[in-house]
């Protein structure tokens, strides 16, 4: 692996840590009592907004031309299926984050809506955890590099 690409992977690793921090922040916001009303909604909105930003950065960095996924496709074509799966997940994860933000903006008129929003955000966190695990496995398979759990 050349020096420039090793530096790029360090950038991917740092961004991965930021995404992990955003996930922890969203979990923390969701853990507060929903009965706090506007305080709870504000915390969740702020955490979702940060998560959306970090997820977009992750997608942009890894999907960029000549970036992470392009390199894996070139150097390890046997992993193309895993790369494609990650790309599909990116689209799904981004769509779900945007849906949750839109839902939040439209308001949550009753406790059932709040509970459903909380459940959907919790499911999103689970999907992100599994996506990151598969990304770590893919990276290790392609480069024998451990991106690590927190950077």
pTM of the entire structure?
Answer: 0.89
- C-alpha count within 13 angstroms, C-beta hemisphere, residue 50: 17
User: How does pLDDT run across 99-113, given as a tens digit for each residue?
Assistant: 999 987 667 778 898
Predicted pLDDT of residue 6: 82
CATH code of the domain occupying 3-143? 1.20.120
Question: Cβ contacts of residue 28 below 8 Å, gap of 6+?
Answer: 47
Please state, rounded to an integer, the average pLDDT across all residues of the chain: 91
Domain boundaries, the chain: 3-143
User: How does pLDDT run across 52-79, given as a tens digit for each residue?
Assistant: 999 999 999 999 998 889 999 998 999 9
The 10 Å Cβ neighbour count of residue 65 is 5
User: How does pLDDT run across 112-125, given as a tens digit for each residue?
Assistant: 989 999 999 999 99
Residue 7 token pair:
């530096």
């Amino acid at each position: 692996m050349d020096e420039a690409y090793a530096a790029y992977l360090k950038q991917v690793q740092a961004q991965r840590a930021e995404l992990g921090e955003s996930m922890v922040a969203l979990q923390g916001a969701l853990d507060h009592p929903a009965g706090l009303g506007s305080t709870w909604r504000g915390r969740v909105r702020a955490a979702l907004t940060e998560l959306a930003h970090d997820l977009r950065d992750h997608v942009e960095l890894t999907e960029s031309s000549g970036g992470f996924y392009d390199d894996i496709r070139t150097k390890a074509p046997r992993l193309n299926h895993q790369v494609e799966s990650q790309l599909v997940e990116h689209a799904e994860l981004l769509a779900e984050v945007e849906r949750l933000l839109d839902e939040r903006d439209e308001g949550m008129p009753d406790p059932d809506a709040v509970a459903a929003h909380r459940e959907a955000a919790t499911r999103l966190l689970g999907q992100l955890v599994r996506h990151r695990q598969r990304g770590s496995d893919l990276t290790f398979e392609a480069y024998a590099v451990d991106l690590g759990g927190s950077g």
